Amino acid sequence: MPRVELARSTGLSFPAISAITSKLMAEDLLCEAVTETATVWPDDTDEEDTDGLNGRRRGRPAVLLTLNPEFGRVIAVSLRMNLIETLIADFSGSALAQSRLELTTRGLDAAALCDLVIAQIDAMIDATATPRDRLLGIGIALQGIVDSDTGRHLWSPALSITDVDLATPVRQAFGVEVVMANDAVAVALALAAAEPALAQGLTATIMVGHGVGMGVVVDGEARDGAGAGSEIGHVKLAPNGPQCRCGQRGCIEAHLADYALYRDARTFLDLPPAVSQQPSEAQMALLRARARAGDPRLEQLFRQAGHALADAVATTISVLRPHHIILAGPGLQAFDMMRSAYEERLERAVLPWLLKSTAIHVRPSESATIVDGMVRRTLRVVDRNHMETTE
Amino acid sequence: MPRVELARSTGLSFPAISAITSKLMAEDLLCEAVTETATVWPDDTDEEDTDGLNGRRRGRPAVLLTLNPEFGRVIAVSLRMNLIETLIADFSGSALAQSRLELTTRGLDAAALCDLVIAQIDAMIDATATPRDRLLGIGIALQGIVDSDTGRHLWSPALSITDVDLATPVRQAFGVEVVMANDAVAVALALAAAEPALAQGLTATIMVGHGVGMGVVVDGEARDGAGAGSEIGHVKLAPNGPQCRCGQRGCIEAHLADYALYRDARTFLDLPPAVSQQPSEAQMALLRARARAGDPRLEQLFRQAGHALADAVATTISVLRPHHIILAGPGLQAFDMMRSAYEERLERAVLPWLLKSTAIHVRPSESATIVDGMVRRTLRVVDRNHMETTE
DNA sequence: TTGAATAACTTCACCAAGAGAATTAAAAAA
DNA sequence: TTTTTTAATTCTCTTGGTGAAGTTATTCAA
């Protein structure tokens, strides 16, 4: 945040940083933070003189620079099974307002969907009294297949329509940049931002929840274009496996996603029916509770899910050879029940030399992670465009 | 090749190109080609004035620039099952000499392997009377797992030893840059260079031969670091499938690689034994001939191989979502017998929206493709280093 | 309180890379 | 020969950066 730190991290010289930051401050994009009395310093020196003055050092103290939160705002939308989540954030990424709209998404046609998304965005703008010219960008995270080149939404389990262009109408409605991404990419970004260790090298985030998706992040940044999102959930484990929502059989998702577990459990257990085959969070919690209570059939179901998860990880390691794999999403709340089956299968499904060179992290993230990550992605794109235009 | 073309392709201004090229010419890196009488022009104009003068146009003709072949030389080594192939090329990438050394690679220890590789390189230098200071780089393409960060050779089916550091001794012996890569990456580069259409966007090259590997090329360049090479061959199709050389079971490779096909065929057919379980090219040709002659058991074997190939393609598409997939390597010489099974399986194993957005190309390349691609890779790295140091 | 000491910034002179305009060069067409 | 056309160079100028020196704000020690 202080200029010295910027100089160190960018490798640029000190005068260059000075020039750039003063230009950005003239644009009101950056501003100097109020000098706090208890400034925390990075403890990168091995000196013994750690005096009692709360980490203060001699010399002129660094002036902290922050993004001016008032420079503008971005809106992130997460569109998934029976849920449209919307969030508006200021330029520093802090949330100002959010909304959740539950509805049967599979009942929508393309026009209705666009109208709905636009209405949600409008509502956010109104709720926070955001001037139109202060809206800098809109990010839409989608559950399903996004064409990385065109941004079109090719297919989603949440929708009965295919090949939807959501970006163009929204861009026309608000006249700002619209960023489309797979929701797993958004989660991957949020997790990489939260843990700096995961923002080093190639990180693949497998998100297990309503579906099974994957996002790829390189050095903390989403990969542009092809290769950013992945449909690991629709890799086939067996030619004649269980039915998947995608229409094919034997997909990893059909063994591992919440809808698959709930559907399979209902064949031998009395459980309340799910709306559009999509169990709610409460229903999934119930399922886990019953399994933990010791139902051997449910235990077997979660063991099979563990196998499927191991196969997803094994395939990802073999094909992508990432430095890190993050297992994320609400589905991981049942990881304790999958663990032994997962580990046993993983051992046999990946070459040991590959397994050794990949670190696997389990982070059962919440649903808010999607819009959080999407805000980051959108801000990043807005930033980049701004640089290019004012350069 | 001419300066105008460089300006167009790089987007730099004309004076900039002039300055850069004249600097490089002073370094003897570039030189002007002799003005040929029948200069071939790019036919990018739609003008009707295509006179009979063999494509000549009005105006000052462009001076063709070429890399000075005498600027230096690079050596590429391909290390694979029972074979060490070596090639020395001039700075323009033209081969000057090559050698093939057949031996039982699995009998070597680390020191013997290093000595052997160094001896092969020495032989190439001597054979072409290359002054030591003219050797700019050495590229080594390996069958097996290469650690993209350290360049260590973690595991190879061709060797009984694991975790070998071949780069350091070779670098010390010759004092030049040593580039390590998976052999599939080398093939991918060679194919991308041969067909400009394949050098656009993300291209995954699946090489089927002694093993099954994959190389990833983005816009004609090998991806650096993690994610360049992939062990798609060791993705598992079934937990208890056929035995693979890697020690695990059910790998794609164990259904598809030449050694697997030959081994399985020998269980029901009289065929000459293979050296170290590695059938020769002649033996594989014999196998294909017998299958084409109409042996139903062999036809079934190749159909199963077709299924495994489809699964490899399906997994690659789902995880990587590339623009192009190239199926390459000698194993594809039997593609006609795999085709129907391959197509039928592929249809069921990939989401149609993904399949539609990936172009699949079949290129049964020869073995020389590996060293060819490795020369390109090495030249590219040497170039880059040169730029950085003289900058 | 008052001056070192220290560290964060700033200013200034300078350099290098590239852009645009005008100039020179080499060939075909008139 | 002269004109036209296209390639390449030269010149000037802007821009984005560096290094060296100067300025400012703060702690510590006399």
- Pull the structure tokens for residue B238: 């079934």
**pLDDT classification of B226: cutoffs 50, 70, 90:** confident
Q: Is the CB of A14 under 7 A from strand D?
A: yes
H or E element at residue B120: helix B110-127
Rounded to two decimals, the pTM is 0.91
Least confident of B143-147, B201-205, B250-254: B143-147
Chain B contact set for A147 (CB, 8 A): 357
Tell me the C-alpha to C-alpha distance, in Å, between residue A298 and each of A265, A302, A327, B135: 7, 6, 22, 65
Q: Rounded distance, CA B88 to CA B106, Å?
A: 25
**pLDDT classification of B57: cutoffs 50, 70, 90:** confident
**How many cross-chain Cβ pairs, A to B, lie less than 8 Å apart?**
122
| Structure confidence by residue, pLDDT tens digits, A209-267 | 999 999 999 999 998 778 888 999 999 998 889 999 999 999 999 999 999 999 999 99
The answer, for B321 touching chain A at a CB cutoff of 8 Å, is: yes
| Structure confidence by residue, pLDDT tens digits, A94-134 | 999 999 999 999 889 999 999 999 999 999 999 999 999 99
Q: Rounded distance, CA A254 to CA A237, Å?
A: 10
B281-292 and B258-266 helices cross at what angle (nearest 10)?
A: 60
Rounded average pLDDT over B266-271: 92
**pLDDT classification of B50: cutoffs 50, 70, 90:** very low
Assess whether pLDDT exceeds 70 at residue B44.
no
Q: Rounded distance, CA B49 to CA A299, Å?
A: 78
Chain A contact set for B239 (CB, 8 A): 345, 348-349
Q: How far is B56 from chain A (nearest CA, A)?
A: 39
**C1’ D10 / CA A228, Å:** 47
The answer, for B148 touching chain A at a CB cutoff of 8 Å, is: yes
**pLDDT classification of A308: cutoffs 50, 70, 90:** very high
Q: Where are the beta strands (DSSP E) in chain B?
A: 30-32, 65-67, 73-80, 83-90, 95-102, 135-142, 145-146, 153-155, 177-182, 202-208, 212-218, 221-222, 229-230, 324-328, 359-363
Cβ–Cβ under 8 Å, residues A135 and A174: yes
Residues sharing a CB contact under 8 Å with residue B50, sequence separation 6 or more, in sequence order: B43
More confident residue, A162 or A365: A162
Q: Is the CB of B62 under 7 A from strand D?
A: yes
